[in-house]
Chain A
Amino acid sequence: MLNFTLRRVFNGIVMMVAVSFLAYFLLYIGAGNVARLILGLEATPEQINELNEQLGLNRPFIEQFLTWLSGAVRLDFGASWSMPETVNEVLFPRLGVTLTIVALTTLVAAIIAIVLGTLAAIHGGFVDRIVQFLGLIGFAVPGFLVAFFLVTLFAIQIPIFNAVGYTDFSENPSEWAKSITLPVAALALSALAAVAQQVRGSVTDAINMDYVRTLRARGLSFNRVVYKHVLRNAGGPALSILGVQFVGMLGGSVLVEQIFAIPGLGPYAVSSTAVSDIPAVMGLVVVTALVVIVVNLIIDLLSAALNPKVRLS
């Protein structure tokens, strides 16, 4: 298990460096006249030169990348081009918000999906139809549409939850709950649908496995076999879908945060994109990729804990 963990961690680190290099290369090469972008207003050629000098944009590309990388490993993404704050100052508080939302959504979606998916696989009928329907709607209706309808209904028509903004949990737990409920609901739907379908499928598969019959032939009740053996074996595929959904949710949160005006990564990504704030965009890409890689690592480790065979592969 230790060996497995170390291998995966090493793999993750290599992947991070590769992602960073790729992103850096494409973004900085593509960005064009950076100094002009930053100085905007009435920049003179002298000012532009000076800024290029200052930002090191006239140094060789590899040197620039290594400088950036040496900062990035200390989680320092440098100065933003569009805001007075450094990229870190803006990025990390926002990362916290987005991660809170996405993690909570993952948790909510996972719990509901496991319950619904299992019931659908075992009992079929009504619950199964609900899961099928959810699967369809959750997959097909874009999250931002769901978000908008939720706001209209539950924040404006019936003002139960907050329509906009975000309050930290530490600041005011009930406000936090009110601010986070609708975004989480909007985001959760599609993940919930996908995971529930996967759980339904893998529980159905697992329940038809030979060892289920054998265990029952040894006198274990159906429920016991389902809750102990079937769910554990069905857990692996469900987990990996959850991982995929997590990545999707990170993206989906961009739109949902925009609609709920939540100070997460989403609005930062949109505004940085609009003004081509390359350091910010770079930081965003790297940090979200890091989150994805870490989450995948966690999922790998969980899968390995669930299924000993994985540890060998």
Chain B
Amino acid sequence: MKSFKALAAVAIAAALAMGSVTGAGAAGKTLSLGAIAKPVSLAADQAEYGNRAWFYQAVYDSLLVKAEDGTLKAGLATKWSYNALQTQLTLTIRTGVKFTDGTALNAAAVVKNIIANRDKNGPTANYLASVKQVVADGNNVILGLKAADPALLDYLANTAGTVGAPSNIGKASAATSPIGSGPYILDKAKTRAGSKYVYTANPNYWNKANRKYDALVISIYEDTTAMTNALKSGAIQGGNVTTTTVNTLKAAGLKMASGYVDAKGIYFSSRSGSKSCISDVNVRRAINTAFDRAAMLQSLDNGFGKVTTQYFSTASKGYDTAFDKKYAYSIDAAKALMAKSSFPNGCTITMPTFAPYFGEAVYSIIKAQLGKIGVTVKEIEETGGTFISNILGGKYDAYLMQFERAGNSWQFLNFMITKGATFNTDNYEEATVTKLIADFAKASAAKQPAILKAINTELVNNAWFCPWYALQSNFAYKGIVVKSAQAGNIIPFLYNIK
């Protein structure tokens, strides 16, 4: 058998050799990456981070950049400083940078970008909600804030600081023809939207020293197996992989940059009012108690993760190891909690399923476990487009999700907790928590940890969520250099891949 394989390989390789001679070498040094999601729009003001970060980082520079460990570093802004009240941020803009359309990058251009990022209804808009006004002052840009925003600099190192050519702002074509000052230029002719995005080097890039590759190709693999095959066969050098393929890829010689960015579990969205039994804290506690988190982690994600009951990340000052002991798995305890609730005979909750992403196994587990404590799950099948919008529209009582756990606590609070936070879809409030958050915004750095701990205590005790575990993210790579997993992002930022 072995000799047959070898023979076949030799024969076919020989047959292909002719072509290879002419074809090889033309590519130069290309960075090939695999992404699991295609971008919705390539316009600067529609930039997203997470799995889609590369599409924007390839073309656009950002005001600030983030090292692997989360340290903020100079990007287009060489210096930044707050006033004493933390309500005014001054950024000094790098000089001598040009957009690829030939126009110069200056403070005025940055101002236009920040305003667009805030006002164009893009994914970044929320992160700039605190910005009242932006003005250019010589080489500086000054952001006036409505109130102190402890996460703003972090946002600016993410997508909120994305800067594109002002001429492109507001144009419909920007969605497919991005113009930035970044390391690469999108090669539209070779790009197959939705499948393969091809980039060539920006000849006038200001930071060539940090650009290790002459070309960049990002291929989309929505299918786990395709991504794995791509990595195994060497078609790409890096990509985010699911926990189920980690072992096989390691065996195939790939390295992993692993982090714990997301928390996977059940999230509640009808805690306020009384239309659902989720509004009963004991029901929420019972649900928290109805899952054997360690077993779930093992079975669903091969054990790649860390069991937790709290949504705060370990990087946050609010995190408390002690809480992870709470809600130990016990169906009896969960039943007791149900008995104590206003729904001793059980109740029905509506949950979406999103099998294309999460697989269907996990839903059957949820249904079975909740069934054991008298909570009947009415499943509504989602296949794509409407999954997030229906969650945001308040259609469901609870949903399975893996949410990014920002290291920056303020960011987290504004994402999930405050009234009006994106994923506090029914604007649930608890007076204690609301007060603590207000305190936190005003508090000095020294006092913040205690307040965060207090908030976390409330959240965990009142079972705001039901996280199961912090999911290990795995960026598999071979032939490229990745120092470590990216703090605060599921894949390493493009400029950190060497």
Are A and B in contact, CB atoms below 8 Å, in the complex? yes
Q: Which residues of A contact B23 (CB under 8 A)?
A: 172-175
Residues on A with C-beta less than 8 A from B325 are none
Whether the Cβ atoms of A162 and B233 lie closer than 8 Å is: yes
B230 to chain A, nearest CB (A): 4
Q: Which of A82, A156, A177, A259 contacts B226 (CB 8 A)?
A: A259
Contact A159 B194 (CB under 8 A): no
Once bound together, how far apart are the Cα atoms of A155 and B226, in whole Å?
A: 12
Contacts of B38 in A (CB 8 A): 83, 271
Q: Is the CB of A157 within 8 A of B5?
A: yes
Chain B residues within 8 Å of A18, by CB: none
**Chain A residue contacts of B5, Cβ below 8 A:** 157-158
Is A36 a contact of B193 with CB atoms below 8 Å?
A: no
- What is the predominant secondary structure among interface residues of chain B facing chain A? mixed
List, in ascending order, chain A residues with CB within 8 A of B229's CB.
151, 155-156, 163-164
Q: Give the distance to chain B from A31, nearest Cβ to Cβ, in Å.
A: 11
- Contact, CB under 8 Å: A267 / B194: yes
* A173–B24 alpha-carbon span in the complex (Å): 10
Interchain CA distance A262-B196 in the complex, whole Å: 9
B220-260 near A? 1/0 per residue, CB < 8 Å: 11110110011011110000000000000000000000000
The answer to whether A40 and B385 touch (CB under 8 A), given A85-B193, A164-B229, A267-B195, is yes
State in angstroms the CA–CA spacing of A156 and B233 once bound together.
Answer: 6
Which of B6-14, B141-149, B431-439 forms part of the interface with chain A? Answer: B6-14
Q: Are the CB atoms of B19 and A174 closer together than 8 Å? A: yes
Tell me the complex Cα distance, A148–B356, Å: 19
CB closest residue in chain B, given A171: B190
6 shortest interchain CB distances as A-B pairs: A174-B19, A84-B175, A263-B195, A275-B385, A274-B384, A263-B192
Please tell me if B86 contacts chain A, counting CB pairs below 8 Å.
no
Chain B interface size band reads: 35 or more
6 contacts between A and B (CB under 8 A): A39-B389, A89-B176, A89-B193, A90-B192, A164-B226, A259-B225
Residues in A whose Cβ lies below 8 Å from that of B230: 163-165, 261
- Per the bound structure, the CA–CA distance linking A276 and B383 in Å amounts to 9
Given contacts A171-B190, A271-B194, contact A165 B232 (CB under 8 A): no
Closest Cβ–Cβ distance, residue A167 to chain B (whole Å): 9
- Contact A40–B26 (Cβ < 8 Å): no
Contact with A along B424-457 (1 / 0, CB 8 A): 0000000000000000000000000000000000
> Which one, B42, B194, B386, contacts A263 given CB within 8 A?
B194
Q: Which residues of B contact A37 (CB under 8 A)?
A: 385-386
What 1/0 mask marks residues of chain A from 76 to 91 whose CB sits below 8 Å from any chain B CB? Answer: 0000001111000110
A232 within 8 A of B: no
Interface string of B1-43 (1 = CB under 8 A from A): 0000100110011001011101100110000000000111111
Alpha-carbon distance between A31 and B222 when the two chains are bound, in angstroms: 24
Considering the chains assembled together, what is the distance between the CA atoms of A228 and B84 in angstroms?
A: 95
Given contacts A261-B219, A268-B194, A275-B384, 18 further A-B contacts (CB under 8 A): A83-B38, A83-B193, A148-B225, A151-B229, A156-B229, A159-B233, A163-B229, A164-B219, A173-B23, A175-B19, A178-B16, A261-B226, A261-B230, A263-B192, A263-B195, A273-B383, A274-B385, A275-B385
